[in-house]
Structure 1
Amino acid sequence: MSVRTERLATERASTPAYVRIAAELRSRIRASELQVGEPIPPERELCVELGVSRMTLRRALGVLEREGLVRRDATRGTFVSEPRVQLRLGSFSQEVVRAGRHPGAELFWAEERRADDEIASGLGVAPGHPVYALRRLRRSDGEPLAVETTYYRADLVPGLLDGDLTGSLWDEVRGRFHLRLARTTAELEVVVLDVENSGHLGARQAAGGLQLTRRTYIESGECVEYAVDVYRADRVSLIIERAVDDE
C-alpha cells in the first residue's frame, strides 16, 4: 500500500460514519442521480445498501437537511429539495424576479413611532426621531423565505405607509418621493431561528438562519432605511458583490 493510499484509508477510518454517508448522498444529488422533488430511497433500503444503522443514516440526512439539499416529511419521507434561491444584496422583489420566480409579501404590521436607541443608531438620527416601522413576510413562488423588519425616516418619505406595502418599498421610495438610492450596506450573521421566525418561515425550531442588517443611503448621504432581515439558511444563498480594483 502506498503512503497516499494508507493516509486516505486512515482518514476514512477516522471520519464519522454519518459524515461519510452524508458525503455519499450529497454526491448523488449533485450528480443528479437523485432528482429534485424525488424521494430518497426508504431508510431501511439505504441502511442495508450503505451498511449503517438507522440512527447513523438519520444523522446524515440531518446534515443534508441543514444544507438545504433535502427536506424531510414525517409522514411521506425525505425528498430532494429545489436548489437554494440565490439573492444578491438589493431589492428582494427585483432579485426574486431575476431568479425567474414570483415575489410576494404579507404585511404583519406597520406603524409610525419614535426611534429608540437601536433604530436611531441604525438610521443615524437622534432618539425620538419619527420613523415608519413595518414587518413583512417575503415569499418566492409562495414559499416563505424571509421576515423583514424595516424602519424608514418619516421626514424623508412622508406618508409611506399610505402606499403599497406588498411590493418593493424601494420602488415606492423612488417613484413617490423621487429619491435616488445611492448605496446600501449590510452585515451578515448566522443565527438560530427563534420560535416566532421559525413559525413564519415554516422551518424547524432552532434551525439555522441568516440575519442581514441593512442600511440604505440616498444621494445626500442620509440613511433612509434601516432593516433587519432574517432568512431561512437552508433555502437562500446571499450573494454580496463589491468593487475591488476601483476602490
Structure 2
Amino acid sequence: MLPAYIKIRDELKSEIDQGTWKIGSRLPSERDLASRFAVSRMTLRQAISVLVEEGIVERRVGSGTYVANQRVQERMRGTTSFTEIIKSQGKTPSTHLVSYQRILPNEQEIKHLNISPNSHIIRMERVRYADDLPVVFEVASIPEKIAKKLDKQAISEHFFQSLTEAGFIIGKSKQTISAKLASKEMAHYLNIQPQSAILSLIQTSYLDDGICFEYVRSQYVGERFEFYLENH
C-alpha cells in the first residue's frame, strides 16, 4: 500500500499535468491542503518536498509553493534563432518592438560588427515572448548594408528567417554569458521583480563568408530560460 504522502504527491502532480494548477500559479496553503487530504501538515510537507525535488513545484520563502515554470531551453551549439527555439518547444513566439532607429554605431558596435565609424546601423530594442510570457529583452545592432535588403517587419519579427529567405547563408556565432540582476527598467519590460536573476548574453553572428550581420545584447529571465551545452 502506498504511503499517504505519495498518494498526495500523485494526485497533485496529476492535477498540475491536467492544468488544474497553471504554470507559475500558487498552490493552496499547507494548512488548506492538509485539511483537504485529511492528513497532518508533516505528511503534506513530505508530499510537497517530493514535488520540489522533482522540479514540479518550487517553494518561495515568505510567499508559498508555486507550480514551477517550464523553462525555454537553448542548446549552445551554432547560431540560433529565438523564433525557431520557441517553435521547436511547442510554444508560440511573438515580439514587442520597443525602438527601431537608423543611427551611427558606438565603439562596441564598430568593434563587434567590424564596420567604420561612419557606417550606419539599425539598432532595435525588443521584448521576445513565448506563449505571451516575456522571456528576453534584446538590443540588436545590424549593419545597414544588410538591413537595407529587408523591411522593418522582417527584421524586427523574424530576422534570421528573413535573411535565409533573402538568400543569405548563416554561419557561426560567438556567445558570452554572464549572470546579473535585473534593473528596474528591465524588470518592467520582462514583468519580473527588480533584482531578479538575469542571464546576460552577448552574441555576434556571422554569415558563411565571415561577414558579421548582427551584434546582440540580450537579457533573459533566469527562471524562464536556460542554456545547456551538448558535446559530441
Match of 1:79 among 53, 66, 76: 66
| Equivalent in the alignment of 1:148 | 138
Q: Is the 8 A contact 1:147 1:229 kept in 2?
A: yes
| Equivalent in the alignment of 1:17 | none
Amino acid corresponding to residue 153 of structure 1 in structure 2: P
TM-score using structure 1 length: 0.69
Amino acid corresponding to residue 210 of structure 1 in structure 2: L
**Deviation at residue 166 of structure 1 after TM alignment:** 4.7
Unaligned runs of 5+ in 2: 1-5, 34-39, 43-51
Describe the shift of the 1:42–1:70 C-alpha distance in structure 2 as closer, same or farther (beyond 3 A): same
1:98-177 → structure 2 map (5 Å cutoff): 98-176=88-166
Match of 1:230 among 211, 216, 219: 219
| Equivalent in the alignment of 1:209 | 198
3-state SS, counterpart of residue 157 of structure 2: coil
Residue 185 of structure 2 corresponds to residue 193 of structure 1: no
Describe the shift of the 1:126–1:241 C-alpha distance in structure 2 as closer, same or farther (beyond 3 A): farther
Residue 210 of structure 2 corresponds to residue 221 of structure 1: yes
Query: Deviations for 1:151-201, whole angstroms, at most 9, x for unmatched residues?
Result: 11111332535343453211122223x211111121011111111111111
Amino acid corresponding to residue 206 of structure 2 in structure 1: Y
Q: Is the 8 A contact 1:211 1:231 kept in 2?
A: yes
Mean CA deviation greater in 149-158 or 31-40:
31-40
3-state SS, counterpart of residue 177 of structure 2: strand
1:85-100 → structure 2 map (5 Å cutoff): 85-89=72-76, 90-100=80-90
Q: Is the 8 A contact 2:57 2:65 kept in 1?
A: no
TM-score using structure 2 length: 0.73
Unaligned runs of 5+ in 1: 1-27, 51-63
Query: Deviations for 1:34-74, whole angstroms, at most 9, x for unmatched residues?
Result: 5343643416679x835xxxxxxxxxxxxx8xx995487x9
| Equivalent in the alignment of 1:22 | none
Percent identity (aligned): 21
**Deviation at residue 125 of structure 1 after TM alignment:** 2.0
Amino acid corresponding to residue 67 of structure 2 in structure 1: V
Return the alpha-carbon distance in structure 2 between the equivalents of residues 111 and 240 of structure 1: 34
Q: Is the 8 A contact 2:69 2:223 kept in 1?
A: no
| Equivalent in the alignment of 1:182 | 171
| Equivalent in the alignment of 2:46 | none
Amino acid corresponding to residue 112 of structure 2 in structure 1: G
Describe the shift of the 1:111–1:159 C-alpha distance in structure 2 as closer, same or farther (beyond 3 A): farther
Return the alpha-carbon distance in structure 1 between the equivalents of residues 107 and 222 of structure 2: 29
Q: CA RMSD in A?
A: 3.2
Amino acid corresponding to residue 181 of structure 2 in structure 1: V
3-state SS, counterpart of residue 139 of structure 2: strand
Return the alpha-carbon distance in structure 1 between the equivalents of residues 178 and 221 of structure 2: 12
